[in-house]
Chains A and B, each alone.
Chain A
Amino acid sequence: MAFFIGVILPYFTLAIFVGGMFYQLARLARVPLHLHWELFPYPESLGAQLGELVSEVVSLRSIYRHKRKLWGRSLLMHWGIYLQVFWLIMVLFGGRGYAWLGMVGGLACLSGALSLVLFRYVDPEMRRISTPADYLNLLLVGSVSLVALLTGFYFQEAAFQRYLWGILSFRPVPPSTGSFLLNLFLIQVFLLVLPFGRMAHFAAKYFTYHKVKWGEVRRHA
């Protein structure tokens, strides 16, 4: 099992994740130029577009402005993901002592995801438009953090770094502990699902904003 989850599955996961994301991006990038469908006003310079993009990603301001009761929970989950990704990058490049970052991220992500699940279930409007997949996505995101928190995964920085570089340098060493394997398994399930559902909206947003909503015509073109 350790060999499968720790050595074989990661390459399968990487191939599916990278291939899946590439396929989705290529599917959306290699398209005929559609008719103009902009909405005004929109930021016209690259700087202004980047500014709006960053502010939306950081603050989820559309939700803040128009659906405040969803905003806090959603922001919590998203910032939890950002912090965990940041922790992962730090660990990969040899950072130490960032367990607190991972834990804060994990806690935020877990509480945000659970709060969103509850809100989706309890709020009649949200419940009516939700499908099982909407709950499962949130539960999957939350469970990755939950297991990491419960097993102290964020403290295993050195082991995780060694393991990751082993995989990336094609000299994989199967992890020795069951808890490490469980974390690894959940992360891989998450990565396997990510390209093929709505959770890939982080990548689709490039197209919805830059290619459709913001368009390419100037106001008086």
Chain B
Amino acid sequence: MRKVFDDYRALADSVLRPDEPKVDKFLAAMARSLKKKDNWTFWLPYVLSLDYCMKCGTCAEVCPVYLASGRQEIYHPVARSEMLRNVYRRYFTLGGKLWPSLIGAKDLTEEGLNALAESFYRCTVCRRCAYVCPVAIDNGLIVREGRKILDAIGIAPDELKDFGTQLQVKVGNATNIGVAAFRDIVEFLEEDIADSWGVQVKIPVDKKGAEYLVMHNAGDYLAFPETVMGAAVVFHAAGVDWTLNSPATGVNDVVNYGVFFSDVELEKVVRAHVKTAIDLGIKTFVIGECGHAFEALKYLILRLIPEKERPFEIKSILELEAQWIQEGRLKVDPSRNTEVVTYHDSCKLGRVGGLYEEPRLILKAACQDFRELQPNREMSLCCGGGSGFAIMAKGDFLKFRMETYGKLKAQQLLDVGADVVALACSNCKGQFREIINYYRLPVRFAGVSEVLAKALVL
């Protein structure tokens, strides 16, 4: 793959098609993105962020990729947003048509478009910059809108679209696990729980009318089964009526990669989730440990699907676990977790989701020695797995993830001196697995549910 932006490539040649003329199509798609009726979902925040950036550069002071890269100009959040704003001004504003060089309006070239496409996959849309911007301008949103335009002309990472949203809607999950294989995995997990926890847990699957439908990131069944087992032990201990579901009853993967690049795909997946929950007749849809799924199902869904069309509650597993600890439904013994435990705030659960207290309540109850990473909560540093990056590794992209976001996170982990970093997001887990290997850190990661399950008095 030839160089189009920096030393990395997030988009395969077959996706980016670097030698194919695309500018005209891009401009047509961008024109649509600026119309209220065609882009009602984000028109206001989009236009505000196009028009009112004061270019003070405050965003750059908190941007993980910019800071970790040694402040390289190409990773400056304003420089990235300007790649799209320059096009906006040149083709869609009067000033840009009359005095382009005065206001920084630039013609879009084919090479410029290739560079823009790659550049817009160097930001995880962690929105740390938006949180500190004095004018509340959102570079993350600009990136996401840019990706939407790119998707409209057929440029989206295959990990997120072809093998992501489209596969998920077609077969039920983005990991392509069939019904039989899924049931085998669940049986295996039940055996593993008996071995590890010394308790027989029956994991219900496809049970209609259950109080709780727990939907995990399907990747967890393969990559992070401890999280799934931990959750099963928690629900067992809580004594509640719950179920997992297989692809036989609809979508059984809580991910929604549309969050990262497309409102069309986002809505498709959300609707599939809602249909699955309705068909199963459950009362509460429980989002497993997955950050962006929480954003999609807790917030983005609200104006996409009217309330009467989703007759069930939606909760994060963290909310339920914290609630059950407070109610005394779950008995925990922190002496069972004697290691030093810290918690990484996933961007989607924290800044975007507002779940700051729940994981801390759980971990403080379940661990003897809980310590905070610095900085944390709303100023938490993105680990670099967000925006789907955790499953993107071609074109040396893994190295980019490690040498930028990963570098800062590794230092944070060393500074806090923890034995275990507790995580509540699959993308974070995927990224931390690589960070720990890459930097050979004396730390292991664990799902919050796994840490909690270990402390349960069964």
Contacts and interface: CB of A to CB of B under 8 A. Distances in A.
A125 B131 CA distance: 21
Interface stretch (A130-138, A149-157, A160-168): A130-138
A28 B304 contact: no
Contacts of B130: 39, 213
B54 to A, nearest CB: 6
A219 B47 CA distance: 26
B48 A126 contact: no
B136 interface: yes
Interface in A31-54: 31-41
A217 B303 CA distance: 12
B71 A125 contact: yes
B178 interface: no
A126 B57 contact: yes
A133 B102 contact: yes
Interface stretch (B1-9, B38-46, B275-283): B38-46
Interface in A162-221: 196-198, 200-201, 204-205, 207-209, 211-213, 217, 219, 221
A200 B52 CA distance: 8
A67 B77 CA distance: 15
A204 B48 contact: yes
Interface residues of B, number: 57
A115 B269 CA distance: 51
Contacts of B383: none
Judged by DSSP, the binding face of A is helix
B43 A132 contact: no
Nearest to A32: B40
Interface in B339-381: 350-354, 356, 378
A134 B78 CA distance: 14
Contact of A62 (B58, B73, B352): B58
Contacts of B135: 201, 204-205, 208
Given A62-B132, A132-B101, A212-B138, A198 B48 contact: no
A34 B135 CA distance: 19
A129 interface: yes
Contacts of B127: 39
A63 B102 contact: no
A14 interface: no
A212 B46 CA distance: 10
Nearest to A70: B56
A21 to B, nearest CB: 14
Contacts of A41: 354, 356, 378
Contacts of B25: none
A62 B134 contact: yes
A16 interface: no
Contacts of A143: none
A86 B79 CA distance: 36
Contact of A128 (B76, B137, B350): B76
Given A67-B61, A70-B58, A219-B354, A129 B76 contact: yes
Contacts of B137: 208
Interface in B158-197: none
Contact of B350 (A31, A32, A40, A56): A40
Contact of A35 (B42, B55, B138): B42
A84 interface: no
A132 B101 CA distance: 8
A40 B45 contact: no
B51 interface: yes
A41 B48 CA distance: 21
B240 interface: no
A198 B85 CA distance: 13
Contacts of B299: 35-38, 217
A111 interface: no
A12 B333 CA distance: 75
Contact of A67 (B57, B131, B302, B304): B57
Contact of A66 (B42, B61, B353): B61
A213 B104 CA distance: 27
B51 A198 contact: yes
B450 interface: no
Contact of B44 (A34, A133, A200): A34
14 contacts: A32-B37, A34-B45, A40-B354, A66-B61, A66-B62, A70-B57, A70-B58, A129-B57, A133-B103, A133-B104, A211-B44, A212-B138, A213-B131, A221-B302
6 tightest Cβ-Cβ pairs between the two chains A and B:
A131-B104, A40-B354, A208-B136, A32-B40, A36-B299, A62-B134
Given A28-B48, A198-B51, 16 more contacts: A33-B303, A35-B42, A35-B303, A38-B299, A60-B134, A67-B56, A125-B57, A125-B71, A132-B101, A132-B102, A133-B103, A134-B55, A198-B53, A198-B54, A213-B130, A217-B299
Interface of A: 27-28, 31-41, 56, 60, 62-63, 65-67, 70, 74, 125-126, 128-134, 136, 196-198, 200-201, 204-205, 207-209, 211-213, 217, 219, 221
Interface of B: 36-37, 40-45, 47-49, 51-58, 60-62, 71, 73, 76, 78-79, 82, 95, 101-104, 127, 130-138, 141, 263, 299-300, 302-304, 350-354, 356, 378
